[in-house]
Amino acid sequence: MKDKEIGPDEFDIHLDIDGADTIITIKPEETSDGARYFICYIGPDRITQLREELDGKWEQIWGILDHWMVDSIGREINQRHKL
C-alpha cells in the first residue's frame, strides 16, 4: 500500500481510543454534486468516511465504527474545520 501524504486541506485530530492517544488524519472530499464528506485514516489505513447531515448529526458512509467514535470524530472535525 502506498504511503499517504498530507495535502493542504487535510488535518490530524487526536482521540483517546482504548486509553491510547490516536492520531486520525482527516481528508475532506466532495461528491460530484458538491456534498462534503470526510475520509478518515489511522496511519495508511482508511477507517471510515463520514458526512454531517443537515440536522447536524454525523453519519458513517463507509466503515464499522460505533456511534461514539463517529460522534467524537465529527465533533473534532467541526472544531478544526468550520469557521
Residue range 13-39: mean pLDDT, rounded: 92
Q: Is 69 exposed, middle or buried (0-12, 13-18, 19+ CB in 10 A)?
A: buried
In a domain? residue 1: no
Q: Does pLDDT of 24 surpass 70?
A: yes
In a domain? residue 6: no
Question: Which domain range does residue 51 map to?
Answer: 11-81
Residue 51: pLDDT band (50, 70, 90) is: very high
Exposure string of 30-51, with b = 16+ CB inside 10 Å and e = fewer, is eeeeeeebbbbbeeeebbbbbb
In a domain? residue 5: no
Average pLDDT along the chain: 88
Residue 9: pLDDT band (50, 70, 90) is: confident
Q: Does pLDDT of 20 surpass 70?
A: yes
The total number of structural domains that make up the chain? 1
